[in-house]
Homo-oligomer: A and B are copies of this chain.
């Protein structure tokens, strides 16, 4: 790459160092250990060391962490020549976003006397916010530079925190697994960004916008990890006790039902009955997305399975029929199909959550109502009002996501950020030193290299 625009030699170091130094200064100024991580504060109270929330949140945190870095990272390695970027940019923007999210979320709902107090719960929340950015990354995958992605992450994290604050703190919405705050927000934000970044000549790179055999297997690592740990994701920050337990179990059954629906739909919609890896890799996860709001409620195992079953069907139909329409009619080039995996199932999850909230009764929840719907338990609002709040929250989320994506999309169009040319999208070699392909066993190295692709882009 001799193309000055996409050369990252100065651009990437400048943004990485600038952002990290700003983070370090802000952390130094306003971030402190909370009472569970501070040696003095923890020991100034009378409790057992085993009561520390570390033991009740950290295993969930680690599962979420795996979803963010392995799950999202490898899910996107399905492209034949974009594995380094998928895992590598996922790694970079996640490492930045979780630090920035600590500040933004702390600013909006963690301030104590002007200081942000942090512990395992803020770490989970930071990972959640990061997840939303990675969903948007899926929409623009292959068409953006790492500098663009860091800029997008900076703005998206900020808007995520604003939306989360409006929902959870101002409106009193329940959304433990983030059907709205994470999935709907991330998906529609990313879709709007990719709409603004529309490339009419993207078909010049279309030969690289597909998978090869092994890249699909790498992607399955991501899929399976997301699938397995989704019960931990949805339950990571619910109330302790029955709530965490129930949320994990609801999600487990929703995903299982979704998987059967996905396989059935994938065969049914293929002209020759053959399964499509795109569906398996993505739609089988829609059950986790759709259980993100109602998972902590008394959805029942059967109800969870119905939700997952519908989510799987919707998601496959989206991949099969809607994606083409979105691209051709609305000019939305959604590389990973986040609309089908996170967008529609997120909206479904929000609706299921609103309905489930609206029908909550003291007879079903008993004393447990205070954990799930504190305002309903205290008599401040009734259940149907809570349901209405949930529905309004979906509208708010969609509005902020679309408006935010619109603005951020235009910012990302600035040529200084080094976006790849249309001819060389979905291609690692523009931003990475790429080694040759497999050496055959006779010891003769395949001396194929990146020269031709470089010619194309120069």
Contacts and interface: CB of A to CB of B under 8 A. Distances in A.
A27 B306 CA distance: 10
Interface string A264-298: 11011011111111001000100000000000001
A95 B258 CA distance: 9
Nearest to A306: B24
A70 interface: yes
Contacts of A274: 1, 8, 431-433
A210 B449 CA distance: 14
A217 B302 contact: no
A212 B39 contact: no
Interface in A290-314: 298, 300-302, 305-306, 309
Contacts of A39: 242-243, 246, 298, 364-369, 371-372
A16, A41, A59, most chain B CB atoms within 10 A = A16
B264 A13 contact: yes
Interface string A218-254: 1011001101110010000001111111101100110
A13 B261 CA distance: 8
Contact of A212 (B32, B435, B453): B435
A44 interface: yes
Interface string A23-47: 1100110011100111111111000
22 contacts: A1-B274, A9-B267, A12-B263, A12-B264, A12-B273, A16-B264, A16-B267, A19-B260, A20-B260, A38-B242, A38-B246, A40-B364, A41-B242, A44-B366, A54-B245, A69-B228, A91-B259, A123-B252, A213-B434, A217-B218, A437-B441, A441-B448
A328 to B, nearest CB: 22
A92 B260 contact: yes
A452 interface: yes
A32 B242 CA distance: 14
A62 interface: yes
A53, A56, A248, A453, most chain B CB atoms within 10 A = A248
Given A33-B246, A39-B364, A249-B123, A20 B275 contact: no
Contact of A241 (B2, B42, B123, B271): B42
A391 interface: no
A53 B214 CA distance: 40
A169 interface: no
B264 A31 contact: no
A228 B42 contact: no
A10 to B, nearest CB: 7
A149 B65 CA distance: 33
Contacts of A435: 80, 210-213, 216, 277
Contact of A267 (B13, B69, B245, B271): B13
Contact of A52 (B9, B119, B227, B245): B245
A263 B217 contact: no
A59 B300 CA distance: 23
Nearest to A240: B49
A273 B366 contact: no
A380 interface: no
A86 to B, nearest CB: 9
A127 to B, nearest CB: 10
Contacts of A55: 55-56
B255 A54 contact: no
B227 A69 contact: yes
Contacts of A37: 242, 245-246, 249
A324 interface: no
